[in-house]
A and B are shown apart, each in its own frame.
Chain A
Amino acid sequence: MIKKINNHPKSLRKIPTHYCAGCGHGLAHRLIAEVVDELGIREKVIAIAPVGCAVVAYDYWDFDCSEAAHGRALAVATAIKRVRPDNIVFTYQGDGDLAAIGTNETIHAANRGENLTVIFINNAVYGMTGGQMAPTTLLQQKTATTPKGRDQKLHGYPLKISEILALLPGVKYIERVSLHSPQEITKAKRAIKQAFTNQIEGLGFSLVEVLSSCPTYWGLSPNQALSWMREVMVKEFPLGRIK
């Protein structure tokens, strides 16, 4: 007799998401839900949803969530964690949210060494607002606001926020992972679990940067988008433990 060997995570509602076909957000949501189930922290976890395509993540996760104004997730998370230190608090933020409008909150929360977990979704564009350039957009990458490709003379270089944060003594753990293959997805889950475990053990600020696809605003099919990540994006954003 054959049996079902994979189960829908309890921490993820069984409803369709609004994400585009092939979008990495759905995958990242599932990995977090699986980790929360496996660590048995569903009653203790509090997510801070961002502004961006994942703004309604609170509709998809089946545990407590709060919303924050654009870029302010780590300020809200700091407050919640300080008032309720027994809860496991994490933010889920895009590159526009964490590394553009929220750079200030991000750097200071990291520098204070807040005992928080950050899941940073780097898809190299602003998805929600129509595919504009993000700080993490690659050189030569075409976006709605860089129709000829990102030019460092005009737009600067892709921002390596994870490497910058790694310099801060308050930061405990930073790893960059990618969602471009089943093997890398499995590694991503391991890193996410580590970032949550660190908080449970009181070790301090932990961040996982997740390279994630936005086929819609990269102008690629979902499969082409994964190839682009594998061949181009990981060269600019090398995978592995940063701190």
Chain B
Amino acid sequence: MAKIKIDREKCKGCLLCVSVCPKGLITQAEKLNKKGVKPAQFSRRAISSEGGTPLKAGKKGGACLGCSLCAVICPDCCIEVWK
């Protein structure tokens, strides 16, 4: 059992985390944050790439591994990893 928490107000919407999540559990939110950008959001289940979100092809499905790849690549320290 693992999960991440993304600080949606600090997030600048660079979406680097989206590209590294091996499970495809991070997508771009539809709702703008106070900065006026659509931040990254986490969901416990993989979301399809519909809605224009640039999801990486690869192994999808399954739960968060707590692998921390998203937190490692986040340039703005927006991601907490819980495991």
Contact = CB atoms under 8 A, between A and B. Distances in A.
B69 A12 contact: no
A17 B76 contact: yes
Contacts of A26: 75-77
A226 B71 CA distance: 16
Nearest to B54: A223
Interface string A180-202: 01100110000000000000000
B76 A6 contact: no
Interface string A1-24: 011111010001010110111111
A131 to B, nearest CB: 18
Given A3-B83, A5-B68, A5-B83, A182 B20 contact: yes
A222 interface: yes
Nearest to B82: A2
Contacts of B12: 20-22
A5 B66 contact: yes
Interface of A: 2-6, 8, 12, 14, 16-17, 19-27, 30, 181-182, 185-186, 215, 221-223, 226
Interface of B: 1-3, 10, 12-16, 18-20, 37, 54, 66, 68-69, 71-73, 75-77, 79-83
19 contacts: A2-B83, A4-B82, A5-B66, A6-B71, A16-B10, A20-B12, A21-B12, A21-B37, A22-B14, A22-B16, A25-B75, A182-B20, A182-B69, A186-B72, A215-B14, A221-B15, A222-B15, A223-B15, A223-B54
